Structure formats: C-alpha cells, structure tokens
Structure 1
Amino acid sequence: MDIAIVGAGAAAVGLLDALAATASGPGTITVFEPSPHLWRGRPYGPDLDTVLVNSPPALMSIRHADFGHYAAWLGPRGAAHLDERLGLPLVPRALYGEYLAHTAETASAALRADGRQVRVVVGRVTDAARSGARWSLRAEDGRTYGADHVALCVGGGTPQDHYGLDGAPGYVGDPYPLARTLPQVPPGGRVAVIGSGLTAVDVVVSLAAHGHTGPITLLSRSGVLPHVWQRPGGHRPRHMTVERVTALHREQGAVTLDDLAELLRTELAELGEDFDDLLADLLATGTEDPVQRLRRQLAAVDDPRYGRRILQETAHSVGPYAWRLLPEADRVRLRRHFRTATSVASPMVPVNAAALMRLLDSGHLTLLAGVRKAEAKDGVFHVRGDHDDHHDHTERTFDTVVNAVNPPPLAIPQAAGPLVSALLADGSAALHPAGGLVPADPRLHVVGDLSGGGPFLTSSIPATAARAAQVARTIVASGSRTPRTA
C-alpha cells in the first residue's frame, strides 16, 4: 500500500509514529514538505529561546495515549528549563521541534525495517486526482506521484490582517520566527502588538528579554489575556473521563453540554468544591479587569482547588471525543465562548505570566482594549480604541505594529489552497459548515487543524495525536481491501 502525506509538521509526525506501530508489509510512504525545517511545522522551527512550549510535558506527547513519551525523550535536559512556579520543564519550542524530528526519524526507521520505503519530496502538492483505486498527486515541479491513500497534514492557516496594514513599513504580518522578525523592530520604538493571546505573549516577553526599551502596547478587541497554568495536583478525574462520556452516550443515545457540566459538578463535589463558583469565575473572563485577573491568577498558581486544573486537563483528554457527540446547538453555544474557552484550556506558562506582570507594573507594557481602527499614515501607525469607561476615545501612534492574531481555526493555509481547490472541484472533499475540510472519499484523510468537524480546540497536540492514530488504523485496516494497480 502506498501512502502520501502532505505536510511534515506535528500532525504528520503523529501519523508516521502511529503507522510505525500498526503498519506492516511493503509499500511507499511519500511525505511532501516545502519547508527546510522538516517535521517541525510553523510553530516549532528554530527560534529564540524565549519562545516556549506553552503546555506541560504530559500534554505535548505526539504519541497517542502515551503521556510520558515526550517527557521520556526530554529526560535530564528538562532540568535546565524548569519553570519553578509550575514545577515542570517548559522548553524552547525549537527544542520541542527536535523531539518531533527525532520521533519522525525513529518511526521512519521502524517503517523501513518493516519493508516500507519512506521518502521525502521537497515541495508542495498542487493537485490531486482520483484514477480508479489510486490517487495521482502533482508536485509544484510538475512531477506526479501515485498513492492508495492521501493524508492532509498541512497545519493551520495564516494570521489575518484585520486592519489592512499589509505592506506598510514597520508592519510585521506574521511574527514567527521571532528570531527573524524582532531584530527588525527599533529597540526604542513604540510597538503595538495586535492580539492578546499566546502569540502576543511570546512577542512581548521576547521583546523585553532582548532589550527593547520603548513602550509596548497590546491591542485587543476583547482585552482578554490567557489564563495561567497552575501547578499540577495529584487528582485524577473519576467522572469527567472518556469512559464515563462513552457510557452516557450508550445509555442515553446522546451527550449534551449539561451532561458534561453535571460530570464536572460531581467531580468537584467529591473534592468539596463548588461547580457554580468555577463557572462564575469563567464567565467573568470577559468582564473582569484583565490586569487584575492576571495578578490574581499568578497568585493562584499553587491554589489547592482542583476545579480549573480538571477542566484544563479534560479539555484536551476528553474534549475532542465529547465534541463529536454534542448536538449542533451545544456546539454553537460553545463557539460563542471560544475566546474564553481557549484562554482557559491553553493558558500561558507562569514564567511568562510573571514577566508580563512585571512589564505591566513598570508601565513598560499597557493593554488597550476595544480597538476599533488602525491605519498607517505619515510614516506611523494610528490606532483608535475605547477607554475603559467606554465613553471617551483615544488615538495612539506607533512606530511598529506586530500582528500577533492567531490564524482562524479550521482555516485553509494559503500554501495548501490549490490542492484543496482541486479536491473540492473533484468532489473528493467538501467544506464543513463550521470550517475545515471533510473528506468525501474514504481514501482521503485530514489530520490536524484543517480537519472539518474535528475538535473544538484545533491546535491541541493530544487531539492531533488521537486523530493521527485513528487515521493510521483506518489506513492499515483498508490494506487488504485496497487493490493495487500500476
């Protein structure tokens, strides 16, 4: 059986690793990737050491259901990257990229030992067409490659230019890698960072760590900062589990948000904690002063209560499975709270939260919420937003604007556009109403951020690993039924 994997980031690594654990017999695996940073994707290529992995090691294993895989690879090196508040190693993303590369190379070696040929084609796939029981893929150099199954592992989209600033001098449309973009920022200049999520935190912390002395302002429509990770506790969920959700689905024929809330309520009640208190705190995310909320959350890193810890853990371990079972009305309800949900499920690490707090307290960093307009004029950037009282307006000027808005979930990456268009035109796939791509052919698979109907948290490594394992099983199970043709 011949398999084509389009893209060579984390999703492709998870798929290769899963195939190595399940595949057998001859065939070819062809991986297409134009980037020189094989296996790392956009987030985990070479970059500044201040750009950290934002999750504890247990949530960063690319091997499905093996939560210790990444930690075992990291080994003693983790001690040099310990976040003392969290009590766990938080390494530079480039080092995590080495883990992904090592995993991919180990899996490739195992597949070769099992009789498979694994090859990498440096370049994009621009077209794919079905021919009988086979696929024909065309690379950008005009060459064609055959496959029985095609797996799209093309990663996420590109950051949106909300204010039409692209091309203006001093505008940084995509900050990564920061090692390339931040040296372009004048060290004493006035910098505006569009966004207030994890990418914005990376930009601000890295600017300060590398000697930027000018004022920095976070521009945000919502003003919501990510939550802060808490030091892990010893409690393992007993009710908020995949097994319990599966049982509910079997008993009731459906699983609702109210069911999940009740599981969490029961979990917390056994610990002597109040679900309603946790819910009230979550709902205050968009209304509480963000600086005061950050200060309070930083002080609560060692809070003995488990509520938020359980919610964060199960958002990644249970969430991808439960999301598929929810009725569409409940999915719509959750999407309304997407900003809050992502800030809770993907918090910032304490070392970055502390750095942000110091910058805010010193006045080096400010937060401007309610931004309504930004434009380039007369060699500078003019930004208009609302004051906190929502009555007065302010206009500020900046020398540099860094776009730290995250790509929209389930967006089609620009580089994958021609291939996706070909698949849509051929009827091999369709666009999901909520975004992403849904295969219409059982020999086409999507792993990662582009997976239509996939998990609510699209950039989750556990969800990506789970999907990769599922696709690997599907491909291998079809092997005996897939006819081989020339």
Structure 2
Amino acid sequence: MNRDPEPEPEIEPELDLDLAVVGGGAAAVALLDALATGTTGTTGATGSTAPVAPGTIRVFEPSPHLWRGRPYGPDLDAVRVNVPPGISSIRHGDTGHYTDWLGERAADHIDRLLGLPVVPRALYGEYLTHTAEKAVAALAEQGRRVEVVPARVTGVTRHGSRLVLRTADNRAYAATQVALCVGTGSPPDPYGLAGTPGHIADPYPLASTLDQVPAESDVAVIGSGLTAVDVVVALAARGHRGRITLLSRTGVLPYVWQRPVDRRPRHLTAERVTELHAARGTVTLDALVDLLRAELTDAEGDFEALAAELRATTTTDPARRLRQQLDAVDDPRIGRRMLQSAAHAVGPYAWRLLTEADRARLRRHLRTANAVASPMVPVNASVLMRLLDSGQLTVTRGDVRGGLRGGLRQRVSAGPGRVINAVNPPPQSIPAAARHLVASLVDTGLGALHPAGGLVPADPRVHVVGDLAGGGSFIASSIPGIAAQASRTAQALRTPLS
C-alpha cells in the first residue's frame, strides 16, 4: 500500500539568519569566541580584522550539556583534563586565556610530579561554558543574536541562494552559511558487543556508568589509550577491588607528560616547513626528521636515543615502559617534548604537504604516534603504576577477539563482571548522529567525502571545524588545533561571499 509522503516542513520566516552552527561543544565555543573577539588565524590578537555582519547565529545542539560536548560534561573529579593549562586555551593565540580564568582554583589541582594544575574535566567544561556565554553577550552587543536550537540536524539542502537545515523534529531553518562542529561522537563497536550482558558501550560519564560495576567484579576494558586510563583511574577512585584487564592489540599505554621546558623550536616550525615546500616543491618525512635532528643538535640532545625509545614503544612491557616514563618526568632532554609539540603545532599543516607514501609510513606507526602526541598526566600514570605493581591491573596484548572468546566474555556475562568499551573513533570518522547530515551534504554537492575519511566542503558556504574535516592529520585534533581551525573559519565567515 502506498504511503502518503510526509509534508514538507515550513522554513522559519526569519530572513536575517546568517550562520548555522551544527554542534554545541568545544569547537562551537572556539568559533563563537573567535567571531566575538576578532581573533586572527595568524597573530592570535584580538582586534579589528573585520566586523561581524549583523544577523542571527543559530547553534543546533540536542545534548543537555550545552558548550561542554561529550568529554567535558559533569563527571567524577578523577576524570581529569589530560593536558596542562598552558595548551588548553580555547582562544587561538591566547595561551593565558584558560589560565587566567582558572585563577586561584589552579592551586587545588596541582599534579605533584608535573608541577602544574591538572583539573577535572567538568571544571574545564565550566570554562567552556563561561567562554561561550561571554562570546554570546559580546556578539549581541555587535548586533548578532545567538539562539540555541535543542535539536539534531539531519540534513542540509539548497533553497535558492540560501541553505536549509532540517532537524529531527521535522522543522527547517534557513541560513546563508553553515559550520559543522559535530565532534567525534560515541565509541565504535569493533567487536560486535552491543547488547551483550555486562557490556558498557560508552564509558562517559563515568559517574553514572561505573554505578553499574560492582566493586568486587572483574572488569575488562577494551583499549589502552586515554579513555582506558580514565576508566581505570575512576575505578580506583571509587575503591574498586576486583581485577581490571586492559585488552589491547598493541598493549601500548600513552606516554607520560614531562615538565615543560622554556625552549621554543627554531627548526621544526611551520615557517621552516613552508620554506622547504617553496624551495623543493614538496615536503618529505625525511626532511621533517632532519628538522627534528637539527633541533636536538642545537640543544645538545640525543636523536638516536629518542629514535630508539620510539622504536621500542610497541615491544617494551607496558609496566616497565610506564615506570620508565614516570622516572623521566623531570628528564631535561627535550627530544620527546619537541616531537610532541610539533605533532600538534606543525603536524596538521605538514601532513597536507606530504606524499601519500610518507603518510602511509606514518600510519604504520599510528599507535606510537598517538601515545607520544597524547600523553597521560603523571597523577594518572602513578595510579596505573600502583595498580600494575599490586597485580590488580594487567595489560593483555594481542588478539582482542581471542581474549574475549577465551573465557573472559563468558565469565563477565555469567557473573557480575563488566566489559567497558574504551575504543576511540579514529580522526575524520563520521559520528553516528551526523551520518544523515553528512550524506545529505554529499548528495546535494555541498560536500564530498575525503578518500582518507572526513568531509571536504564543496561550497564556500559550508565550513568544518574539528576532526570531521577531511584531509586532516592521522592524529586526533587537540584543543589548540581546534582553536586554530575555528579562528581560520571565523576569518572565512567574515569574508563576503561573491
């Protein structure tokens, strides 16, 4: 029997609508702040690059935790931000923005080994909320009204000279430009555990999910990255007494943050990469390694020692390597610090200039690259070390499916134990909640899927901020990277469309 077609939703009549921001997390906060302050993509100064045209900005976010995104909602105090305040600013070019906001509260959260504050993620979420509210007020003074629509956008189509966004509640909104700030979404389910008794598909917020975990139960955590570290540290903070097993193909734990040193790079910089590209017409991975080598030579560092440490990442026993990392928090050698900083400050730009062969070489070392670029804070590393020493925590390397089949899955399903999914989606993956939206952009020619993942805008009215941006680095975006993207997008939004 034929069904009557659903009625076309009516477009909201406000024709002054200028910008639609899809997503209300950290990327959206960075974009609104950049629009409100005039932050530039080059100097990071606040000023008069170009006035923001009058009109309305609509932010579409169905989550009750507006401005916080998935990572920074209310949670346990043991769930901490994994980076020091100096590189946590959501305002591009203003490294003191977050530190100034934190103020005297920083003293309550000092990581003793790092010598810097490491705050709960919920507190960082308060910072994002404060920044967004200040930006909304500033934009209002400039004639831009910001309105929040608590609905999920399911599609974008053309409607004359404007774009039309459709939401899950079958409403439609017109805009002249659209910025996608959809974040990374929830964890994937690579081992098909959805619906299995005792399986926790998404660990966040840990304050509620860990209520499902009996204190004496065996817990299997799938993964060994930063999310897995959060799970283990949160279990320990709640006094968990059962065994905890990290199941990981590589068994690689994140590296551990070292105390910062006051040294700026002189060779491994975006400026030098630009010079190489101009002079040679290309940038190779070997040339980037030479820049790192020159950096270490200037600082009397040991390049070969750094290279040996990196090569041993996937072969050294996890507990032994973690102990070495904790012992090296005060190590004065700058090699790892320089490499880690360059991964975020230079990496996304250099990545786009590399040949596909060099990109493939880097992808073969993805786990090592992620471990270096996204380390854990020493206070969390100390908790893991204590649990490893006591035998309560173990790290199992190898076939995760085999580990689940080999009795663990049955033991967890039959008893009070739990399997917690701590697998993070890869960069440029499309969040499940945004699949229909991305598909509509591709179908209407407003965007195109990048061969390596993510979305590439095919229309100057469409912008992407965050990991969804196609062609980006194989390492997940950092807060500074998202802030830089937001700043460039704000500049583009100020440029009149022809």
Instruction: Please give the range of the TM-score, normalised by the shorter of the 2 chains.
Output: over 0.9
Is residue 411–residue 417 contact of structure 2 (8 Å, CA) maintained in 1?
no
Is residue 175–residue 403 contact of structure 1 (8 Å, CA) maintained in 2?
yes
Is residue 426–residue 476 contact of structure 2 (8 Å, CA) maintained in 1?
no
Alpha-carbon distance in 2 for matches of 1:212, 1:452: 41
Partner of 2:144: 116
**Inter-CA distance 397–410: structure 2 relative to 1 (3 Å threshold):** farther
Partner of 1:2: 18
Partner of 1:150: 178
1:46 aligns with 2:74: yes
Q: CA deviation at 1:214?
A: 0.7
Alpha-carbon distance in 2 for matches of 1:102, 1:344: 31
SS of the residue aligned with 2:63? coil
> Mean alpha-carbon deviation: is it higher for 14-23 or for 446-455?
14-23
Q: Pick one of 476, 480, 484 that aligns with 1:466.
A: 484
Partner of 2:437: 419
Q: CA deviation at 1:318?
A: 1.6
Partner of 2:260: 232
Is residue 164–residue 375 contact of structure 1 (8 Å, CA) maintained in 2?
no
Deviation track 1:327-361 (CA, whole Å, cap 9, x = no partner) reads 22211211111111010010010000011000000
Alpha-carbon distance in 2 for matches of 1:183, 1:441: 46
> Mean alpha-carbon deviation: is it higher for 455-464 or for 37-46?
455-464
Alpha-carbon distance in 2 for matches of 1:7, 1:125: 9
Read off the aligned partner of 1:407 and give its amino acid letter.
P
Q: Pick one of 229, 232, 235 that aligns with 1:207.
A: 235
Deviation track 1:143-162 (CA, whole Å, cap 9, x = no partner) reads 21111110110011321222
Q: CA deviation at 1:397?
A: 9.0
Deviation track 1:385-414 (CA, whole Å, cap 9, x = no partner) reads xxxxxxxxxxx9982111111122211111
Q: CA deviation at 1:197?
A: 0.5
1:407 aligns with 2:446: no
Where does the alignment leave 5 or more consecutive residues of structure 1 unmatched? 385-395, 482-486
1:289 aligns with 2:317: yes
Scaled by the length of structure 1, the TM-score of the pair is: 0.93
Alpha-carbon distance in 1 for matches of 2:266, 2:403: 52
Read off the aligned partner of 2:84 and give its amino acid letter.
P
Q: Pick one of 134, 145, 168 that aligns with 2:196.
A: 168
1:32 aligns with 2:74: no
Is residue 198–residue 416 contact of structure 2 (8 Å, CA) maintained in 1?
no
Partner of 1:455: 473
Is residue 168–residue 376 contact of structure 1 (8 Å, CA) maintained in 2?
no
Q: Pick one of 173, 177, 182 that aligns with 2:205.
A: 177
Alpha-carbon distance in 1 for matches of 2:35, 2:366: 33
How high is the sequence identity, in percent, across the aligned residues?
64
Alpha-carbon distance in 1 for matches of 2:416, 2:313: 28
1:304 aligns with 2:320: no
1:438 aligns with 2:466: no
Is residue 198–residue 419 contact of structure 2 (8 Å, CA) maintained in 1?
yes
Partner of 2:35: 19
Alpha-carbon distance in 2 for matches of 1:210, 1:456: 35
**Inter-CA distance 260–277: structure 2 relative to 1 (3 Å threshold):** same
Is residue 6–residue 31 contact of structure 1 (8 Å, CA) maintained in 2?
yes
1:371 aligns with 2:387: no
Structure 2 counterparts to residues 21-420 of structure 1, below 5 A: 21-22=37-38, 23-373=51-401, 381-382=409-410, 399-420=417-438
Deviation track 1:182-227 (CA, whole Å, cap 9, x = no partner) reads 0100110111111111000100111011011111111111111110
Read off the aligned partner of 1:10 and give its amino acid letter.
A
SS of the residue aligned with 2:463? strand
SS of the residue aligned with 1:260? helix
- Aligned Cα root-mean-square deviation (Å): 2.0
Alpha-carbon distance in 2 for matches of 1:273, 1:423: 49
